[in-house]
Structure formats: structure tokens, C-alpha cells
């Protein structure tokens, strides 16, 4: 609104009429301007005579966030990405919220949450649906509406735990403390769904009292509120003489039948369940109960204690019985005719072992196996008496002394079972012996490996505590390998077939020359024609919408003298980066790209250490021949640039030492 | 290990997860065919090998990275890892045992009293979170120790952390908070 001077009369009193859009001199009346661009609000008549404003509301902080780059770089003109996100978010919120019948205030709050979430970049990597649902649920919780997370997951057909995860994360990041769910909130909603007609209110009140009672009795901690509501409503309905079956209730409340039954039984255990209906409505019991899982835990502990006591008693009783039995046996033996010589010793051992068998049914499997072995030898190997007797004598001794002391037993058993294995393997097969050997050896090695472990930082294996023999068992021998191979092949036949077909397909395509390696998918890029590297960089960056974190001045200076290499694109440590980039280049050139091979021959011929020198002249060469090879130059250019960067970085690093790192 | 002084709380370590690298490429098929107790999972690209002695399950990748789970102490995890490496060495790979690190320790502990979860969550607002619809326990994350404690209403705790000391420290940290929100002694049962 500059006060202008009238052309005709020179007066400075000019009247600008916004409505008509004209500027008129009040002195002489001449029209200075016509059709001024008006910034008044315009109205348009819609259907039904409703007038609405023309135009949109633009947010104040919309396009202000233009990144400050160097001169000459254009941002893609059009709607800002952030505004688009917010708009689509708002739309989705409205849609979902209306399905849940949330009022407008809630929806606005939800949208505010969403804006916060977007500004904190929490939408990245998450589905928009999940984020929207989480925002809506956040609103539901803060407002206290009777909406469950299950409802939202029903609408979206998403797993409720996934939604829950997103919700928890958002609540934590936004520092919003959602108040805890009160089951009382859900009662009116479920009662309404159960269709109690006129008496809905009364039933709800009864159910509310029940829920409050449950809370006092500690049934509600750690449980889904909907389960409690279901149980309360069922009882309340029955109290008011409504016939609602368990199935009706669970279809409304969305819990399983088992859960409902369990809640009912828990409630039954509380003293409140003993009251009559009238008493319940009037009286409120003072006592509180423990939570049911706590009582269950205590019950378990009690049972365990009882069992232990029983076991002890049993042992005592067994001790008594064994005494009696021994006495009886000795008496019997006295009365029996005595065997002479070798057989005497034999019978003694056998008698002892058979009694052992009866009593020690609960001893560890080693011993029972031993006793079983003994029994079988008795029956089957009458001819091998001498051999067997010797071994038994040996075992008998060890069993006597080593009954309580397990450490010596395994060793001696181990030594004595070895000779026994061969005759018995014929009878019993190889399997039990292997298992037993394993167990014994494991005892042995376990005793050995109790000592502390020293940390070895070299990378060499400390073999001190490792028993090689045991490890050998982990490796199958030749025959077993064959068997396993066969099995495995059969099992995974399908997978192997697929792999073969894939390979054949690839080979065929290779022969035909139509083979496209699908490993890297590059978008089709147009060639950039530029005369100098600097221009090429500029043009590429224009097209590529580079982020604001690159210092473009430095990029431009790269072609010239070694500037300060402070770009954030080469963040990873230089050593790794050079290796990575060079290997990438090598890999790239190994791809079917015959046209590029000419240039790369130049670069590839040189050794890795000298490519840095070669890299310098090539960037100039490549943009010139950039037009001819198809599709390769832009990635190659970028690579060359990045390699140039690296080259600079490396040389700078050598010169300056670690200083360049500070610039990152 | 308990700050209240009267009784000692038993912290039982139930699981220790550790990783290490063999610094050499492993052929999973060889391992699958020549080892006992191995399960080959071609779709995940790994082999599961179970050791009996320190009861450990190891996931072996072809890059040479190995994750061991199922140990009951840090030392056991290391022993199991070394055993596993020795086994692989015997199978013919040039194994170099490096970068052994215990990544996660899971321990269980039980308070002698029950805990009122809603009060507990209210008192420790942003750090603790409780969603009965999702999980019956309240979750308390200690940022400084990088440990997470799950508190159940019966008073049992599940603690996970990067090593055993952190886990013990976490239990000590959380004990006074739980003590405040103790359930009052019940009159019945």
C-alpha cells in the first residue's frame, strides 16, 4: 500500500477500494488502477442456498521449512510432503473415528496427537493405519470412552498386539500417561449390547457393584477388563432373572468361554459369592482376598511341601520294610541248602541286587539299567558264568561303596561296562550303551569343567575344559553321514528341485543372452549431458532431490584443489568405505555392461592402491563420453564422485591425520 | 542381593544369550549332514545345533555368526560357545573364536508379597506401563541400566538385561518401589 502520487494532479491522496479493486485519486478523480488483485474473502453459493467461502486454509508453518541450500538448487515445486501426510492422516482419522462413533472433539484431539507424532518422526517405518489407530486409541483412553483396542483391531483386521505395541510406543514418546482401564467403563456398553430392555440400567448397576467387589478381591489385576465385565454381567443378568447364556455373553464381550468360566469360579471362591442377592445389594463385606494366582501359587507351594513330607515318610517306611526283608531273607538262606564254590558268591550278589531292584525303583536310570542288565545276564548267560561273575563282583564292590558317592561309580562302571558291552550288544543293541556312555562321560566332564574359565581374547580356542571325546560324538561317522544325507535329500526334495530349476532357468537365459540379473533394481535414469564435472554434479543433484545435509559448496570444489573434505555422505570410516566402494565398483563392472568395460578397463587395470591416481583423470573423461554408454554413467558418475571424495578423504587423512573426522 | 536386609531374594537366571563369530565362512550343508542334533532351516538360511552338555541351542549362519541361547550362566554360555566352536573345528572349518559377547540375560525373581500394579504404574508414570488388555504384567524399563523388569500382580518379576550385574542392580533398584505398592496383608485365606 504505497502512497503513490497521482499522475494527473500530483495529489497523494489516493483511495484504494478493495471491494471493487480500484485505486482512485480523490483530488482529480482519475482512476489510477483497475482490477487490483483482491485479497478479500469471497463467497460462493452452494447447493441449497448455502454460501461457503472460496479458498483453503494454509498452515502458517507450511512452506516455511525450505532448506537453505546453496544458490541455484530447486526444490520440487508442488505440495509439501509434510502437508500431504497430515492431510491424508486427517482423512483417515475421520474415517476410522466415524466408524467408532467418536465425537468431533475426540477426532480433533486425535489429529493433534497425529501431528505431534509426525513431527517427532515416529511414523517412519510404521504403517499409517497402525499409527492412526494408535492415536485414536490414545484419545479413547484419555477421554475414557468405552472403546477397546480389540474394537480397533477388528475394524482394521490387524493383530491386536501389533496395535498395542505401536500404542505403547507412541504413549511413551509423547509422554502421554493414559489412565488405567477401568472395567466399569465397559459395563454400560456391554449391557446395552445384551439387550436387557427396560431393566438395562438396573442390571448395569448390579454388574458395577460386582465389578467393584471383584476389584476389592484382587481379581482384576493383570486380567483383561472385558473378561471381568463378562462374568459380572452374566451374574447380574441371572440375578435379575434374565436368561443369558455364556455364549451370548462371550459373543458380546469377546473373550473365550474358558476365561469366563474361570472368572466365575474365582468369584465363587470369594466369600461374597456366599451372600444372597438381597444381602449382596445391601451389605459390603469388609474382608479382601488375595489375587487368585497368588493363592494358586501358595497352594502349589503347600502341595510341594506335603509331597516332600510324604516322600520322607515313605523313605522311613521303606527303610523299615527293607530291614524286615533282609531279616526274612537271611532266615530263608539259612534254611536253604548252600551252594559251593563259585556259585555261592554268585547267589549272594544276585540276592542283593534283586532286593535292590525292588526298593530302588526311583533311583537314577543308570542304576536301574545296571540292575536290569544283571537280571538279563542271569536269565540268558548261564554259560558265561565265570566272566559274568567277575564283572559282577567288580560291580558289586563299586555298587556297595559307590551307592551314595556318585563320582567314583561312573568311572568304575564305565571301565567295567566296556567289556560287558560286547556280549550284551548282541542281546540288547547298541543304543542304550551309547546313551549310558554319554551320561557317564558327561558326569566325568562336568566334574572336570567346574573350574573357572579364563577369557581368551586372541581368538584362539582355549581347549582346556573341552572334552574332545564328547565332541567327537557330535560328529557322525561316514555311514551315518550317508544315511543322513539320504534322509535329508528326501525330506527337502522339493526345495532342492526348486533350486535346480532356478539354476537351469538362469543358465538358459544366460545362453540366450536375455539374462537380467535381478539383484539390483535401478530406476530408469535419464542421461545427464554436461560439459564439466561440476555441471554434471549440479544437474544430478537437481534430479535426485538430495537431502539438506550435504555441503554443496564442497562438492563443487572437489574438482579443483583439495578443499576440506567435510561431507556427511562419507560418514563411515574411510578405510571401510574405500574398501566397500572399490569392491562395489569391481562388482558393478563385472555385471554385463560391455560398453562401460572400455573405461573400466583403464581403471581396473590399475591396482587398488593406484586407482586413486587413475580416478582423478577419469572423472573428466567420463562426463565427456557420458552420452554414449547407456544407463551406466549416472551411477558411475556418482560412484566416481564418491570415489573422488574418498580419494580426497584418504589423502587428506594422510596429510592431516585424524582431523578430518572432527568435521563430521 | 537384596537391599531390605532381612531375607535374601533369590534371583534365578533362566537364560543367557550370547553371540560370537568364527571369522570364516561356514558351509551349512556340511554341518547339517555331518553333525548330530542339527536342524537345517533353509528358508532362514541357518542351522540350529543343540548341545547336550551345557544345554545350549546355537543358531549358526553361513557368514560365521553364531548365537547361543539356553545357558544358565555367563560362564556356561562361554563354555558352550567354545565347545561349539571346537565341534565346528573338528568338522573341518578354520574356526577362530572371536567377539564373544553376552547379549541378554533373563532372570526370574519372586517377591514375598503381592504388588498392586495400578498403584505401581501410577507412581512411576512414564517409566512403567501397564496394559491389561495386552499383557498381565506391568513393564518397567530402567534406561540407565538398559534393563526391563516385568512385574506381575503375584509379586514375581522377570528381569532382562545385558549382563548379570545389571540384572541384579535392576532388582535392587526396583525393590523399594515395589515395597511401597505392596498389597496390604489380607485377612481371609
How does pLDDT run across A109-136, given as a tens digit for each residue?
A: 999 999 999 988 888 888 898 999 999 9
Residues B93 and B24 in one domain: yes
Q: How far apart are CA A218 and CA B115, in angstroms?
A: 10
Q: Do B35 and A460 touch (CB under 8 A)?
A: no
CA distance B138 to chain A (A): 8
Q: Do B85 and A461 touch (CB under 8 A)?
A: yes
Do the domain assignments include residue B12?
Answer: no
Do the domain assignments include residue B49?
Answer: yes
Q: Residue ranges per domain, chain A?
A: 1-39, 81-179, 184-289
pLDDT at A447: 41
CA distance A500 to chain B (A): 15
pLDDT at A283: 66
Element (H, E) at A347: helix A342-359
How does pLDDT run across A90-105, given as a tens digit for each residue?
A: 999 999 888 888 889 9
Residues B88 and B130 in one domain: no
Which of these three, B80, B103, B126, is where a domain ends?
B103
Strand partners, B11: B109
Residues B78 and B117 in one domain: no
How does pLDDT run across A4-35, given as a tens digit for each residue?
A: 788 888 888 888 887 788 888 888 888 888 88
Cβ distance B44 to B144 under 8 Å?
Answer: no
pLDDT at A61: 57
Do the domain assignments include residue B135?
Answer: yes
Residues B83 and B141 in one domain: no
- Phi, psi for A399 (deg, rounded to 5): -65, -40
The H helix count followed by the E strand count for chain A is: 28, 5
Q: How far apart are CA A517 and CA A219, in angstroms?
A: 62
Cβ within 8 Å of residue A636, ≥6 positions away: A588, A596, A599, A622
Fold of A1-39: N-terminal domain of TfIIb (2.20.25)
Same fold, A81-179 and A184-289: yes
**Of A99, A181, A103, nearest to A142 (Cα)?**
A181
Q: Do A476 and B75 touch (CB under 8 A)?
A: no
pLDDT at A472: 63
Q: Do B183 and A461 touch (CB under 8 A)?
A: no
User: What is the pTM assigned to this prediction?
Assistant: 0.51
Which residues, given as ranges, of chain B have pLDDT below 50? 1-5, 185-189
How does pLDDT run across A236-267, given as a tens digit for each residue?
A: 888 888 888 888 888 888 888 888 888 888 88
Instruction: Decide if pLDDT at A296 tops 50.
Output: yes
Instruction: Decide if pLDDT at A649 tops 70.
Output: no
Cβ within 8 Å of residue A245, ≥6 positions away: none
Strand partners, B18: B68, B102
CATH number at residue B53: 3.30.310.10
Query: How large is the average pLDDT for residues A290-310?
Result: 83
Residues in chain A: 664
| Torsion from C-alpha of A128, A134, A139, A145, nearest 10 degrees | 120
Q: How far apart are CA A206 and CA A184, in angstroms?
A: 11
pLDDT at B107: 93
Cβ distance A74 to A113 under 8 Å?
Answer: no
Residues B90 and B115 in one domain: no
Do the domain assignments include residue B188?
Answer: no
Instruction: Decide if pLDDT at A463 tops 70.
Output: no
Residues B89 and B116 in one domain: no
Q: Does domain A184-289 have CATH number 3.40.50.620?
A: no
CA distance A663 to chain B (A): 30
pLDDT at A545: 62
Query: How large is the average pLDDT for residues A416-443?
Result: 44
Cβ distance B126 to B149 under 8 Å?
Answer: no
- Which residues on chain B are in Cβ contact (under 8 Å) with A182? none
Instruction: Decide if pLDDT at A503 tops 80.
Output: yes
Do the domain assignments include residue B93?
Answer: yes
Cell numbers standing for residue A437? 556312555
Buried b (16+ CB within 10 A) or exposed e, A479-518: eeeeebeeeeeeeeeeeeeeeeeeeeeeeeeeeeeeeeee
Cell numbers standing for residue A282? 445391601
Binning pLDDT at 50, 70 and 90, where does residue A474 land?
low
pLDDT at A559: 64
Do the domain assignments include residue B126?
Answer: yes
Q: How far apart are CA A557 and CA A368, in angstroms?
A: 85
Residues B116 and B81 in one domain: no
The more confidently predicted of residues A537 and B103 is B103
The more confidently predicted of residues A278 and A472 is A278
Q: How far apart are CA A427 and CA A418, in angstroms?
A: 15
- Phi, psi for B155 (deg, rounded to 5): 100, 0
Q: How far apart are CA A643 and CA A612, in angstroms?
A: 8
How does pLDDT run across B125-155, given as a tens digit for each residue?
A: 778 888 887 888 888 989 898 999 999 988 8
What total of structural domains would you count in chain B?
A: 2
The H helix count followed by the E strand count for chain B is: 4, 10
| Torsion from C-alpha of B88, B89, B94, B100, nearest 10 degrees | 70
* A474, A487, A492, A493: best to mutate for the B interface, most B CBs within 10 A: A474
Do the domain assignments include residue B3?
Answer: no
Do the domain assignments include residue B1?
Answer: no
CA distance A441 to chain B (A): 10
Residues B90 and B22 in one domain: yes
Which of these three, B38, B72, B103, is where a domain ends?
B103
Residue of A287, A442, A472 with shortest CB distance to B53: A442
Q: State the residue for C-alpha cell 506335603.
A: A306
Residues B119 and B86 in one domain: no
Which of these three, B103, B123, B149, is where a domain ends?
B103
* A213, A221, A458, A481: best to mutate for the B interface, most B CBs within 10 A: A221
- Phi, psi for B182 (deg, rounded to 5): -60, 150
**Looking at the domain that runs over A81-179, which CATH code has it been given?**
1.10.472.10
Most confident of A37-51, A164-178, A630-644, B90-104: B90-104
Q: Which domain holds residue B76?
A: 17-103
Instruction: Decide if pLDDT at A331 tops 80.
Output: yes
ipTM: 0.73
Cβ distance A229 to A187 under 8 Å?
Answer: yes
Residues B21 and B98 in one domain: yes
Amino acid at each position: 500500500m504505497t502512497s503513490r502520487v497521482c499522475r494527473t494532479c500530483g495529489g497523494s491522496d489516493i483511495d484504494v477500494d478493495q471491494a471493487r479493486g480500484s485505486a482512485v485519486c480523490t483530488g482529480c478523480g482519475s482512476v489510477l488502477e483497475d482490477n487490483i488483485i483482491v485479497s478479500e474473502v469471497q463467497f460462493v453459493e452452494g447447493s441449497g442456498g448455502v454460501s461457503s467461502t472460496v479458498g483453503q486454509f494454509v498452515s502458517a508453518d507450511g512452506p516455511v521449512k525450505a532448506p537453505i541450500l546453496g544458490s541455484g538448487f530447486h526444490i520440487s515445486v508442488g505440495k509439501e510432503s509434510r502437508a500431504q501426510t497430515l492431510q491424508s492422516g486427517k482423512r483417515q482419522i475421520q474415517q476410522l473415528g466415524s466408524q467408532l462413533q467418536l465425537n468431533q472433539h475426540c477426532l480433533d484431539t486425535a489429529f493433534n496427537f497425529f501431528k505431534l507424532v509426525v513431527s517427532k518422526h515416529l511414523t517412519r517405518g510404521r504403517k499409517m493405519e497402525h499409527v492412526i489407530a494408535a492415536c485414536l486409541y490414545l484419545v479413547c483412553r484419555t477421554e475414557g470412552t468405552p472403546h477397546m483396542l480389540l474394537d480397533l483391531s477388528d475394524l482394521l483386521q490387524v493383530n491386536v498386539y501389533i496395535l498395542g505395541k505401536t500404542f505403547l510406543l507412541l504413549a511413551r514418546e509423547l509422554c502421554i500417561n493414559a489412565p488405567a482401564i477401568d472395567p466399569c467403563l465397559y459395563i454400560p456398553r456391554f449391557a446395552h449390547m445384551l439387550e436387557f430392555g427396560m431393566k438395562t440400567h438396573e442390571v448395569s448397576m448390579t454388574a458395577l457393584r460386582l465389578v467393584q467387589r471383584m476389584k476389592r478381591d484382587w481379581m482384576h489385576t493383570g486380567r483383561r477388563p472385558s473378561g471381568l465385565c463378562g462374568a459380572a454381567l452374566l451374574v447380574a443378568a441371572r440375578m435379575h432373572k434374565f436368561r443369558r447364556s455364556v455364549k451370548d455373553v462371550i459373543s458380546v464381550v469377546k473373550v473365550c468361554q474358558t476365561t469366563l468360566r474361570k472368572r466365575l469360579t474365582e468369584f465363587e471362591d470369594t466369600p461374597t459369592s456366599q451372600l444372597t442377592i438381597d444381602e449382596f445389594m445391601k451389605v459390603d463385606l469388609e474382608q479382601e482376598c488375595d489375587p487368585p494366582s497368588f493363592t494358586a501359587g501358595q497352594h502349589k507351594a503347600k502341595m510341594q511341601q506335603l509331597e516332600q513330607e510324604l516322600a520322607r515318610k515313605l523313605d522311613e517306611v521303606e527303610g523299615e520294610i527293607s530291614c524286615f526283608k533282609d531279616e526274612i531273607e537271611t532266615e530263608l538262606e539259612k534254611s536253604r541248602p548252600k551252594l559251593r564254590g563259585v556259585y555261592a558268591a554268585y547267589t549272594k550278589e544276585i540276592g542283593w541286587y534283586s532286593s535292590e531292584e525292588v526298593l530302588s525303583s526311583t533311583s537314577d536310570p543308570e542304576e536301574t539299567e545296571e540292575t536290569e542288565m544283571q537280571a538279563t545276564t542271569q536269565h540268558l548267560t548261564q554259560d558265561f558264568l565265570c566272566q559274568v561273575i567277575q564283572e559282577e563282583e567288580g560291580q558289586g564292590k563299586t555298587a556297595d561303596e559307590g551307592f551314595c558317592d556318585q563320582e567314583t561309580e561312573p568311572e568304575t562302571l564305565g571301565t567295567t561296562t566296556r567289556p560287558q558291552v560286547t556280549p550284551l550288544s548282541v542281546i540288547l543293541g547298541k543304543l542304550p550303551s551309547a546313551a549310558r556312555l554319554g551320561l557317564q562321560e558327561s558326569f566325568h566332564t562336568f566334574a572336570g569343567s567346574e573350574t573357572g574359565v579364563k577369557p581368551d581374547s586372541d581368538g584362539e580356542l582355549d581347549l582346556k575344559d573341552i572334552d574332545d571325546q564328547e565332541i567327537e560324538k557330535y560328529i557322525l561317522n561316514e555311514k551315518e553321514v550317508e544315511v543322513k544325507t539320504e534322509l535329508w535329500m528326501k525330506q527337502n526334495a522339493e526345495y532342492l528341485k526348486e533350486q535346480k530349476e532356478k539354476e537351469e532357468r538362469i543358465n538358459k537365459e544366460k545362453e540366450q543372452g536375455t539374462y537380467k540379473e535381478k539383484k539390483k533394481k535401478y530406476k530408469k535414469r535419464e542421461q545427464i549431458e554436461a560439459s564439466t564435472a561440476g555441471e554434471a554434479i549440479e544437474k544430478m543433484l537437481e534430479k535426485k532431490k538430495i537431502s539438506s545435509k550435504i555441503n554443496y559448496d564442497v562438492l563443487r570444489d572437489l574438482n579443483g584443489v583439495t578443499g576440506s573434505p567435510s561431507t556427511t555422505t562419507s560418514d563411515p570410516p574411510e578405510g571401510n568405505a574405500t574398501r566397500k566402494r572399490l569392491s562395489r565398483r569391481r562388482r558393478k563392472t563385472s555385471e554385463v555392461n560391455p560398453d562401460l568395460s572400455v573405461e573400466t578397463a583403464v581403471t581396473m587395470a590399475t591396482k587398488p592402491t593406484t586407482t586413486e591416481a587413475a580416478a582423478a583423470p577419469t572423472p573428466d573423461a567420463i562426463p565427456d563420453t557420458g552420452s554414449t554408454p547407456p544407463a551406466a554413467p549416472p551411477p558411475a558418475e556418482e560412484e566416481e564422485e564418491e570415489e573422488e571424495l574418498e580419494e580426497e578423504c584418504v589423502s587428506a587423512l594422510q596429510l592431516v591425520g585424524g582431523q578430518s573426522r572432527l568435521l563430521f | 542381593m537384596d537391599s531390605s536386609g532381612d531375607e535374601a531374594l533369590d534371583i534365578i537366571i533362566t537364560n543367557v544369550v550370547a553371540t560370537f563369530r568364527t571369522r570364516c565362512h561356514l558351509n551349512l550343508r556340511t554341518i547339517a549332514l555331518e553333525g548330530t542334533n542339527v536342524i537345517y532351516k533353509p528358508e532362514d538360511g541357518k542351522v540350529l545345533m543343540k548341545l547336550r552338555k551345557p544345554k545350549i541351542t546355537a543358531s549358526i549362519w553361513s557368514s560365521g555368526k553364531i548365537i547361543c541361547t539356553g545357558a544358565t550362566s555367563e560362564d556356561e554360555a562361554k563354555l558352550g560357545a567354545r565347545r561349539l566352536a571346537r565341534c565346528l573345528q573338528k568338522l573341518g572349518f578354520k574356526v577362530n573364536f572371536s567377539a564373544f559377547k553376552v547379549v541378554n540375560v533373563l532372570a526370574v525373581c519372586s517377591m514375598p508379597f503381592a504388588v498392586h500394579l495400578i498403584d505401581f504404574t501410577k507412581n512411576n508414570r512414564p517409566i512403567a506401563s501397564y496394559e491389561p488388555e495386552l499383557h498381565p504384567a506391568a513393564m518397567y524399563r530402567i534406561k540407565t541400566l538398559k534393563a526391563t523388569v516385568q512385574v506381575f500382580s503375584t509379586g514375581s518379576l522377570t528381569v532382562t538385561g545385558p549382563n548379570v550385574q545389571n540384572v541384579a542392580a535392576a532388582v535392587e533398584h526396583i525393590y523399594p518401589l515395589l515395597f511401597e505398592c505392596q498389597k496390604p496383608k489380607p485377612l481371609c485365606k
